[in-house]
Amino acid sequence: MEKDGLELEITELRLGLPGRDVAEKMMKKRGFTEMIMTSSGSNSDQCESGVVSSGGDVEKVNDSPAAKSQVVGWPPVCSYRRKNSCKETSTTKVGLGYVKVSMDGVPYLRKMDLGSSQGYDDLALALDKLFGFRGIGVALKDGDNCEYVTIYEDKDGDWMLAGDVPWGMFIESCKRLRIMKRSDATGFGLQPRGDE
């Protein structure tokens, strides 16, 4: 069961690539938050946030699409059926399920189904969509020039740079994803690109 833990203190929220001004960044962030917070149902009296309902507090999940996909165990389809009947899993042979995706500066995690992407390009698009802004894709493709790097934790527990290995190998070993600021990555223990 997932707790969308606050892994980072919400002191500085920085989204977006360098070159964007702060106001634009904040608007972007508000827009995303608003998507989560707005309720179009008739229960808008209460303050709601559409995050995972694992805490003791009751949080009515609103009907925003992003929030909908985050609720653990909902819709109530048993896990065997989930793994075996989703269209996504039938196109790949890997019964992967979802991996957690965290992004520096965003206080909650997301989950995505790697099996629904066909390759790194697809993954880039999916990640962009997930966090509501462009740029992660750039990070994946043109790593050296971007503020962010996309890394993943593999089966052995090591953090690897995404994009090195063939796609099939990647989705078999990827346990979780993290989009981190390049500036934080140095000294993090990543193997430099091109190292055999």
Tell me which residues in 142-171 interact with another protein (CB under 8 A): none
User: Taken in order 166, 163, 112, 57, is the CA torsion positive or negative?
Assistant: positive
CB 104 within 8 A of CB 181: yes
Residue 6 Cβ, how far from another protein at the closest point, in Å?
13
What is the pattern of x (binds another protein, CB under 8 A) and - over residues 84-103? xxxxx-x----x--------
Kindly tell me which of 113 and 128 has the beta carbon lying closer to another protein: 113
CB 43 within 8 A of CB 144: no
Candidate residues 24, 27, 41, 94; the one interacting with another protein per rule CB under 8 A: 41
Is 18 a binder of another protein (CB under 8 A)?
no
Alpha helices in the chain (DSSP H): 22-37, 65-68, 79-85, 87-91, 120-131, 136-141, 167-173, 182-185
Burial class, 70, CB count within 10 angstroms (exposed 0-12 / middle 13-18 / buried 19+): buried
Tell me which residues in 103-132 interact with another protein (CB under 8 A): 113, 116
Residue 186 Cβ, how far from another protein at the closest point, in Å?
30
Q: Which residues bind another protein (CB under 8 A)?
A: 1, 3, 41-43, 53-63, 65-66, 68-69, 71-82, 84-88, 90, 95, 113, 116
